[in-house]
Each structure stands twice: as C-alpha cells, then as structure tokens.
Structure 1
Amino acid sequence: MTVHFPFDNSYARLGAAFSRPTTPTPVAAPLLLKLNRPLALELGLDPDDLNSAEGAEILAGNHVPPGAEPIAAAYAGHQFGHFVPQLGDGRAILLGEVIDRQDRRRDIQLKGSGPTAFSRNGDGRAALGPVLREYLVSEAMASLGLPTTRALAAVATGEPVYREKLLPGAVLARVASSHVRVGTFQFFAARGNDAAIARLADHVIERHYREAATAPNPYRTLFECVCERQAVLVARWMQVGFVHGVMNTDNMSIAGETIDYGPCAFLDTYDPATVFSSIDRTGRYAYANQPVVARWNLARLAECLLPLLDPDEKKAVETAEATLASFMEAFEAAHLDGFRAKIGLETSRTEDGALIHDLLALMAREKADFTSTFRGLGKAAESEEAEAVVRALFDDPIRFDQWAIRWRARLKFESRSPAERRRAMDAVNPAVIPRNHRVEKALAAAMAGDLAPFERLNEALARPFEDRPDFAEYAGLPPKHEMPYRTFCGT
C-alpha cells in the first residue's frame, strides 16, 4: 500500500465511553469524483497517491489505511429544541487524526461510509447531491475566510441510496479541527457522568484552547473561549449572508468551526426572517435568529459544565450566566465591526450602529440583493458615478439616496483615499457566493453524470473577492422565483 496517513488518534484514546469502533462498509465501485489537492498537501498527504484507484478505495471506506482507528463518536443533542439523549455518528466514521504542516491536529472523517451503532435503523449512506453540496459550500466558506470543516474528496460509490427515490450514492471525506460538539458534552451530562465531562473538557482544552490550561479556573476559561469563538463565527456568517439551517446543539462545534452543511444556503434578497430548511416550519433557525440560537445552545453547554465551574452550584450558575451575558456583547461587537468594514468604515463613531441598521432595514423593505448591494457600495465608495449600480437594486431608489447622503457624510471622517476604501471593502464584500440557483444547477447536472458545472462553480467560488471577467455570470443576480427557495438535509 502506497497511500500513507501519519495518524495520531487522540480521540480514540479517550476510551470506550466516547465512541464505538466501527469499520466502514465497502461499496461496489468507488470512483474519485473530486480531490482537494491543496488541502491534501496542507494535511501532509500526497495528492498523487490519493488520486489513484487505491486512494479511491480508502476515501470510500473500502480499505482502512495503516494507523487508522475508525470510530463512530457518541453524542446527544437538542434538535429543534427537543432533547435526544443519544444521537451519535449515524453515517460518519472518523478514520483518525493527522498533524498537518502547520502543526495543527485535524480529523479525517468519512461521511456516508455505512451504518454505525448510532444509525437508528438508517443505512449510514449519503446521496451524491448532499455530498457535492457540502463540498461546494464548505470550500466556499473556507475561501471566504470563515472557520469551517473542509472537504478533502468526494467519491461515488457505484451504489444507489433510497431517499423517496433511488439516488446515486457517494462518500465525503471531511476534515475538521475536531468533531467535538455541544452535544458531545450533553451525552455525558444526560448520564450523570461528570468524570467523562471532565475528561472531555481536558481533551478540548489541550486540543483547542491551551490558554485555558494555565488559567485560575481552566473550565471557566474554556467556556469563555468557546462563547467568544461562537460569537465571532455567527457574526461572520451574517456578514456574508449565510444561513446554517439546522443549528441543533449536535451541529455546534466546540472548536468554533462551521459544521454539518445540510439545509444551508446564502441570502439572495435580504430578509432577516429568511428560512431555507424545509423542516424549519417555525423559523427557529432563520437568518436573524442565529445569534439567539447560538446563545441558547451555549446555555445548554453551560448546564453540562456546571460541576466543573464551581463546587458550589449557585456560584457555578452565576459564573455561567455572566459568561453567557458576555456572548451577546461579543457578538454585537463583532457584528458591528464587521458591518462597519462592509460599508467602508475603519474608525468607530456612535452613529455607526444606526447607519448600518437603517441600511439593512431599507434593504429588507426594498428587497435588495444582499451580496450585490454591499459589493456595489465598494464601487460607489470609490466613485459617486457608480452609485447608480446600487440604486438599481432598490425598488424605490429615492430611499437609498437618502441613506447614501448620511453614508457619504460619515465617510468624510475617514482618512483612506477612495481607491484604498474600495480595496478594503472588496476584501470583505464578496463578488461571488454559492448562489442557490447556481448550486442547484451544478448538482442537477452532476446527478445526470455531468460534473463540468460543479467544477466550474467550485473554481468560481475559490476566489470570491475578485472581479474575474471569465466568471462574471456567477456574480450576477439570480432569476426571480415564484416560490421561496428550500433546501433539504439529505439524510
């Protein structure tokens, strides 16, 4: 065997309570559809070895490479607010961990690689469409600079899966800094296993938050760090118009990465009440609700950590509540700073919050496109003549004109030249995002055997902040839809 993975599997060493040894179920005819060569190099792997018949066998789960210790992780979770005491990896198997070229520990997981002890009568498989969707969107998020799991490879299985109808099957090789979730802590809290919670917390500190190890109260500092990362992550989601879709506690990574790309999508027309998930009938996970839900999820984590925060339960609760209060402060600061940058501000003034709020309210009222509005503002910041591009996005451009007068008055307090301001705004306002209609078109073609649209879209998304004439169509507005766009989890 020539394919080599330098595995060092710390999570498997935590013990039997944390996972179940699970061998991937072989598939009929593995075919490598897409390999992320730059990511393979980053992980210290040889992409030429992976891009082979042997590599496809490993990435599909047919062969377990030396050093791997495949496991399915145990976790619980609140799903749409309802607690399920046992969920776990029902169709994902962690092959093992590698130390990448930047000395970071990274998980390599196969998603869709067969049933596990946590499959709950499911087949443990994945359909091609959801696999390619996660590949596209997770890699787009990485190119946008957001913390995220990554896609190493997509492999066709040569076998069908049944999801209302027969669909082609596939396996996603996913990379993460870890797969520990809020729900992982909940699994042990539900069983009253405080020793396991402490062991898990120590593992997370060692792996993700080493600054907490030397703090007076390491577990309080751990919780503070997790809250801070989540606050910044959700703020950054909102700055690019991303809607996760299913922010269950089992879908919230302790590492502060975006994880589990099921019914996710990006805003076209700006509406803070936007919901993409077909199963979110109450709007629990709408765009504007994401910070509220994140705080709710973190409160569930706090409940798990109470025995570690202080032996006095009352003091532990006070500590948790104080940290949770700081989450919203951290989110609001990150949100405001991010939107300041999006409208060309590098300094802070008291009127900035109202200026940003009023623009977003105007965009919602006038049904303006989220991405195109902010990208157009960069052009308008450099040249007032370019303001016509932004005005055209509003049903009533006079209202935009009134806001723009205030915006230009605020810009006078900034020191950057118009050209410098344009460059700074273009660096945070993408020209290209995974437009929903483009994603659907690429997935439909792939399901019919044509990967060319998927490849081209993936290439367009790799450099989202650049204006590239060859990819101009991907920066264009979507067609008008009579029905709201909906996505499905694909499980």
Structure 2
Amino acid sequence: MKLEHHFAGLGEAFYAKTSIQPLLKQRLVEFNQALAHALSIDIKSPQTKRILSGEEPVEDSLSMVYAGHQFGGFSPQLGDGRGVLLGEILDDQGWLHDLHMKGAGPTPFSRRGDGRAVLRSCIREYLASEFMHAMSIPSSRALALYTSSQAVYREQPEPGAMLLRTAQGHIRFGHFEYFFYQGKEIELNQLIDYCLKHYYSDCLASDTPLESMLIQVVERTARMIAKWQAVGFQHGVMNTDNFSFTGETIDYGPYGFMEDYQPDWVCNHSDHEGRYAFSRQPGIGLWNLNCLMRCFSKHLERDQLVAILQHYEIALQTHYEALMTAKLGLPEGHNVTNLLSSLFAILAPEKMDYSLFFRLLSHLLPDEFDLILDEVVDRERMRAWLLDYQQARLALEQDWSQVSMAMRQVNPKFVLRNYLAHEAIEAADQGDFLPFRRLLSVLSAPFDEHQACDQLAQRSPEWGRLLEVSCSS
C-alpha cells in the first residue's frame, strides 16, 4: 500500500500532526474487499494491517483544521476532533482518494471531547455510505470497521469502535471559511491552488479557472442534493463544516431515509427548530454555498459570485426532474410536474411509505391497481391518479414490461430503515455481526430482489417508527 501526502505538503497552518491511538483489544470485524481491490490495498499484508489499525504510525498523518456555520451560527475554529487523515491513495483509475479514520482518539481539535466513536455510529455510517454508493449518490465510503472492548461514554457506556473511510477529498466549505475569517490570505490562496490542482484540474485550462471551479462546486452540490431529495435522504446536520468541496455526502450522523412521506420530516432529534428538515435541504444547500462564496469576495466581484450561484437552482431542478421522471418510468424531458405535485398531495395525508410506493409502481400492470390501492385509505383519489399516470405511459407506446424493468433499477426494493440499523447494532453490541452483514449485503445491491431477505424490505413495525436519532448518533 503506497500512501501519498499531498495535503500534508500545505504546511501546519492547515492541520495538526496526529496519529491513530488504537483502542483496547481492538479487532477488525468488517473489511470492504471490493473497495480495497479498487484501491490496490492488500489487507493480508502484515504491514498494511498495522498501518490501517494504527499499530504502526504514519509519519505524515494529520487532523485538519477548519471553521463552519453550525445551525446558522459561525464557529471560527473547528477541526477533526476524532479523525485522522492517513494520506491519499491512487485507485485503479488513477484518481486519488483520502484514507481517513473516524474515532482515532483525541486531537488538538477535540474541544474537550474524547475523540472516540462508538460502534453504533460506525455501523450506521458504514451501512449508509455503502447504500448511497449503490444508489449512485456521491459519498464517502467505508473501508474497514474495528470494534474493541473499550467503553466509550455517550448517554451510556457503549463499545468503542473506529471506521476507516475513503473519499475523493475531505476539504469542506469550512476550510475556506477558516482562512477567510482568520484573514489568512496566503493560506486561502494555497488552498484554492490545491483544490484546482487535485480536484478540478480541468478548470486550469479555462481563462477563468477560479470561476470555473466554483461553478462546478455549485453544480456538484446541487446534483448531490437533488439525489438526496429523489431517494428521500435527510442528512440531519447540514452545517458548512459537513459540506464537501468535492460534492460528496460526508459526515453521517443523525441521518435518515424517509419512510412515511412527510415534506417537513426532521430525522435529527437535536434539530429542535427543524432547520434541516427534508423540504428545506435544497434551500440550505444554497445558503451554505452563499457562505462559501463570501470566502472569495477578495478574488471575484459580487456580480461574478452571484452569477456563479445562479447555476445552483437550474442544476438542482434539472437533475431532480430527470431523476423523478425516471422513477415514474417516463422518458427524459417528459413534463412530470403535475403528476408529481398531485401524487405528493396524496402521499402526505396517506402517510404512504415513499420508497415502497415507487417500488410498487414499478410492478404495476395496466388496469390492475390493487397492488397500490390496498396500501391507501382514499382509494378513489389514488385510483384517479393512477389512471392519469397510466394514460401518460400508454400514450408513449413503449413496451410496458421493459419500462417497468427499468423502473426497478432506479426504485430500490431495500432501503436503510432506522429500525433495521437498530437491530443490526443491537446484535453487534452482543458480538453478533451477522445481521449487520446481511443488511449490508442487500443495501449494496438494493435494486435486486434478494427473495430470501424479503422481510428486510417491509415497512417498519410500530416500535421502529418511534426510534429517534440525535447528534450523538
């Protein structure tokens, strides 16, 4: 395994040197073989095992410093309070990826925290990030999960764990905010040059490389959030320090995948005002980008920054409409605005399961509506919508079965429901990782039937609907 250390070359204004501090009686319980193969990582190598577990320190490993707007308020200095960047590694396509350990122990940015992670949060992130990858949503990914006999205290003692994860980059909006508000212009310019070189090198050929890069950041962010909205994902903590400059979903904490359709659903029990509610995510994405653009106010004129931000709404709306059109089995460019608005007006009062509805729709046969009608109370209202929907599909004179098959490749059968993660965590706490691996298997191929695992595709039981997650998750 060959680690590179490009970020470390920026200098210690950008980080503090840190190393993984192994947990007591630490052991590897899950390793992502497919991802490791793409990164040419051989876990059978004794030296690789020692490096990844923290038993052999990496000379240039570090914890990043950054700032961030958290629930609307600005924190001038944050940083990796429990994370260590081991370095970067080339994949089989020639792209660099960060190797980053969560729960690696206290760092200078821990802010009186213990720097540790619990098994519960590591399992939740492992499952979510691999599911998002399978859904073609840009995301960090889990490479390895370690558990231990060490107790870590949250609301109560829990097993300590570490999660090794990869991402194209861990640079956040908050990195730029840190250097801008600290008045560190030299370091801000270094960071800009670094991102242009390593993440947006195609922009260097432009006459206006900075503007070109920022337009791509805006559009990547817009497309990411459009995918969130289409799949029913809520991040839970959309602070600027949790937003990736490369347009990847990072920092899985109190996230959730919407079950009953509720536009104003809040998955994070700690978000008392509903700032990051599901329906507000697109607006928060733009708010965060506004915060980011302020950091370039000495590089570009206000009109230029406004013009860059104007790419957001167009990109988000265009991508979201394309995704939802595919979910409905209609051709790209077909106007689905009325169909969607009337559908959502039905799903909300029915408290219809969002993912289940679209999966059932992909199995629908002409004039045979009971599959869906049996799931609702107001059958006549739903029947009227289904007739309109059927008419739209039949008018296109496409092969119904082929379209339905294509729909099943964009409407997952399996979704990471909160109660499923809870059951996997409870079993793992007792040393049984089989439920976790079984759930991971279906979430890694969520469009497949996996008939032996049909129970994992069912609605949540009543007790499962009452589960809550908070920032400690």
- Per the shorter chain, which TM-score range? over 0.9
Whole-angstrom distance in 1 between the partners of 2:211 and 2:285: 18
Is 2:284 aligned against 1:293?
yes
Letter in 2 for 1:62: E
Whole-angstrom distance in 2 between the partners of 1:211 and 1:329: 22
Task: Look up the SS of the partner of 1:46 in the other structure.
Answer: coil
Identify the residue that residue 117 of structure 1 maps to in structure 2. 108
Q: Once the 2 structures are TM-superposed, how far is the Cα of residue 414 of structure 1 from its aligned partner?
A: 2.4
Is 2:334 aligned against 1:360?
no
Identify the residue that residue 417 of structure 2 maps to in structure 1. 435
Whole-angstrom distance in 1 between the partners of 2:427 and 2:383: 42
Whole-angstrom distance in 2 between the partners of 1:46 and 1:483: 41
Q: Once the 2 structures are TM-superposed, how far is the Cα of residue 293 of structure 1 from its aligned partner?
A: 0.4
Is 2:132 aligned against 1:141?
yes
Counterpart mapping for 1:251-262 below 5 A? 251-262=242-253
Q: 8 Å contact 2:366–2:390 — kept in the other structure?
A: no
Counterpart mapping for 1:381-400 below 5 A? 382-385=365-368, 387-400=369-382
Counterpart mapping for 1:366-385 below 5 A? 366-380=350-364, 382-385=365-368
Identify the residue that residue 273 of structure 2 maps to in structure 1. 282
Is 2:330 aligned against 1:334?
no
Provide Cα deviations, 1:399-419, integer angstroms capped at 9, x if missing partner.
111111211121134243111
Letter in 2 for 1:236: K
Identify the residue that residue 223 of structure 1 maps to in structure 2. 214
Whole-angstrom distance in 1 between the partners of 2:371 and 2:54: 50
Counterpart mapping for 1:84-233 below 5 A? 84-233=75-224
Whole-angstrom distance in 2 between the partners of 1:187 and 1:247: 17
Q: Once the 2 structures are TM-superposed, how far is the Cα of residue 240 of structure 1 from its aligned partner?
A: 1.1
- Judged with a 3 Å threshold, the aligned counterparts in structure 2 of structure 1 residues 57 and 421 are, in CA distance, closer, same or farther, namely same
Q: Once the 2 structures are TM-superposed, how far is the Cα of residue 431 of structure 1 from its aligned partner?
A: 0.5
Is 2:59 aligned against 1:63?
no
Provide Cα deviations, 1:227-280, integer angstroms capped at 9, x if missing partner.
100111111111111111100000000111100000001011010111111110
Letter in 2 for 1:169: G
Identify the residue that residue 348 of structure 1 maps to in structure 2. 333
Letter in 1 for 2:419: H
- Judged with a 3 Å threshold, the aligned counterparts in structure 2 of structure 1 residues 347 and 118 are, in CA distance, closer, same or farther, namely closer
Task: Look up the SS of the partner of 1:154 in the other structure.
Answer: strand
Counterpart mapping for 1:284-323 below 5 A? 284-309=275-300, 316-323=301-308
Task: Look up the SS of the partner of 1:170 in the other structure.
Answer: strand
Whole-angstrom distance in 2 between the partners of 1:161 and 1:10: 33
Q: 8 Å contact 2:325–2:334 — kept in the other structure?
A: no
Identify the residue that residue 312 of structure 1 maps to in structure 2. none
Is 2:8 aligned against 1:12?
yes
Q: Once the 2 structures are TM-superposed, how far is the Cα of residue 162 of structure 1 from its aligned partner?
A: 1.0
Q: 8 Å contact 2:419–2:465 — kept in the other structure?
A: no
Q: 8 Å contact 2:23–2:161 — kept in the other structure?
A: no
Identify the residue that residue 468 of structure 1 maps to in structure 2. 450
Whole-angstrom distance in 2 between the partners of 1:490 and 1:167: 12
Whole-angstrom distance in 2 between the partners of 1:267 and 1:405: 26
Letter in 2 for 1:35: F
Letter in 2 for 1:361: A
Q: 8 Å contact 1:276–1:485 — kept in the other structure?
A: no
- Judged with a 3 Å threshold, the aligned counterparts in structure 2 of structure 1 residues 346 and 483 are, in CA distance, closer, same or farther, namely closer
Identify the residue that residue 38 of structure 2 maps to in structure 1. 42
Task: Look up the SS of the partner of 1:318 in the other structure.
Answer: helix
Provide Cα deviations, 1:5-64, integer angstroms capped at 9, x if missing partner.
211111111111111111222322110011111111111111333xx6x65543332322
Task: Look up the SS of the partner of 1:123 in the other structure.
Answer: coil
Say which of 242, 254, 257 aligns to 1:263. 254
Query: How many pairs are equivalent?
Result: 473
Q: Once the 2 structures are TM-superposed, how far is the Cα of residue 481 of structure 1 from its aligned partner?
A: 4.4
Unaligned regions of 5+ residues in structure 2, if any? none
Q: 8 Å contact 2:326–2:332 — kept in the other structure?
A: no
Whole-angstrom distance in 2 between the partners of 1:448 and 1:186: 43
Q: 8 Å contact 1:151–1:175 — kept in the other structure?
A: yes
Identify the residue that residue 22 of structure 2 maps to in structure 1. 26
Whole-angstrom distance in 1 between the partners of 2:392 and 2:469: 39
Whole-angstrom distance in 1 between the partners of 2:283 and 2:97: 29
After the TM superposition, which segments of 4 or more aligned residues of structure 1 sit over 4 Å from their partners?
Answer: 54-57, 481-484
Q: 8 Å contact 2:66–2:176 — kept in the other structure?
A: yes
Q: 8 Å contact 1:59–1:155 — kept in the other structure?
A: no
Provide Cα deviations, 1:312-334, integer angstroms capped at 9, x if missing partner.
xxxx1111112222201211111
Whole-angstrom distance in 2 between the partners of 1:441 and 1:88: 32
Identify the residue that residue 404 of structure 2 maps to in structure 1. 422
Whole-angstrom distance in 2 between the partners of 1:271 and 1:119: 36
Q: 8 Å contact 2:31–2:145 — kept in the other structure?
A: yes
Identify the residue that residue 440 of structure 2 maps to in structure 1. 458
Q: 8 Å contact 2:104–2:116 — kept in the other structure?
A: yes
Unaligned regions of 5+ residues in structure 1, if any? 310-315
Whole-angstrom distance in 2 between the partners of 1:383 and 1:6: 56
Q: 8 Å contact 2:414–2:457 — kept in the other structure?
A: yes
Q: Once the 2 structures are TM-superposed, how far is the Cα of residue 204 of structure 1 from its aligned partner?
A: 1.2
Q: 8 Å contact 2:423–2:435 — kept in the other structure?
A: yes
Q: 8 Å contact 1:30–1:57 — kept in the other structure?
A: no
Letter in 2 for 1:150: R
Q: 8 Å contact 1:445–1:453 — kept in the other structure?
A: yes
Whole-angstrom distance in 2 between the partners of 1:42 and 1:481: 40
Q: 8 Å contact 1:42–1:101 — kept in the other structure?
A: yes
Q: TM-score, normalised by structure 2?
A: 0.97
Q: TM-score, normalised by structure 1?
A: 0.93
Task: Look up the SS of the partner of 2:297 in the other structure.
Answer: helix
